[in-house]
Amino acid sequence: MERKQSLNWSIWVRILAGAGLGVLSGLAFMLAFPPYEWWPLVFVGWVPMLAAQFWLMPPKWSAIPSALAIGVWLQGYLGPVFAPVGTFMVWLPVFAAGTSYLTDLGLRKFNLHTGYRWFIPAGLVNWAGSEMIRLFIPIAGTWAFIAYPLYRQVWLIQPVSIFGIIGMGVLVMLFNYVAALALLDWLYQRWQWEGEPLPNIPTGLARKWSIVLLGTSAGWLLLSLMLLRPPSGESLRVAAVQPAVSPVVTANFGEKPVLAEIYERMISQTREAAADGAQLVVWPEGSFLWDPQVEDRLNLTDLARTNGIYLASGYLVIEEEGFRNEATVINPQGEFLGVFGKDHPVVFGGETSLTRGTYPVYDTPLGKLGTIICYDLDYTDTARKLARAGAQVIAVPSNDWGSIAEKHYTHVVFRAVENRVAMIKADGGFDSAIIDPYGRIVSLAAFPEGGEATLVSDVQSGSGKGTITTRLGDWVGWLALAGMLFFAFGSGWLEKREKI
Q: Which residues contact 73 (CB under 8 A, 6 or more apart)?
A: 25, 26, 27, 29, 30, 93, 144
Q: Which residues contact 87 (CB under 8 A, 6 or more apart)?
A: 348, 349
**Alpha-carbon distance 308 to 290, whole Å?**
24
Average pLDDT of the segment spanning 216-224 = 98
CB 78 within 8 A of CB 143: yes
Percent of the chain with pLDDT over 70: 98
Provide the pLDDT for residue 498: 78
> How does pLDDT run across 11-65, given as a tens digit for each residue?
999 999 999 999 999 999 999 999 999 999 999 999 999 999 999 999 999 999 9
This model's pTM is above 0.85: yes
Provide the pLDDT for residue 1: 44
Average pLDDT of the segment spanning 104-119 = 93
> How does pLDDT run across 330-375, given as a tens digit for each residue?
999 999 999 999 999 988 777 889 999 999 999 999 999 999 999 9
Average pLDDT, the chain: 94
Sort strands 361-364 and 367-371 into parallel, antiparallel or unpaired: antiparallel
Contacts 24+ apart (CB under 8 A), 437-444: 437/461, 437/462, 437/463, 438/154, 438/158, 438/228, 438/229, 439/151, 439/154, 439/157, 439/158, 439/413, 439/414, 440/154, 440/231, 441/152, 441/409, 441/413, 443/240, 444/409
**Alpha-carbon distance 57 to 73, whole Å?**
20
HEC assignment per residue over 51-101: HHHHHHCCHHHCCHHHHHHHHHHHHHHHHHHHCCCCCHHHHHHHHHHHHHH
Before 35, cis peptide (omega within 30)? yes
Residue 135 pLDDT level (bands cut at 50, 70, 90): very high
> How does pLDDT run across 270-282, given as a tens digit for each residue?
999 999 999 999 9
Average pLDDT of the segment spanning 387-407 = 95
**Alpha-carbon distance 104 to 71, whole Å?**
14
**Alpha-carbon distance 470 to 385, whole Å?**
8
Helices 475-499 and 160-190 cross at an angle (nearest 10°) of 30
> How does pLDDT run across 169-210, given as a tens digit for each residue?
999 999 999 999 999 999 999 998 988 888 888 989 999 999
**Alpha-carbon distance 334 to 328, whole Å?**
12
Provide the pLDDT for residue 464: 93
31's enclosing H/E stretch is helix 11-32
Count of beta carbons in the 10 Å neighbourhood of residue 472:
14
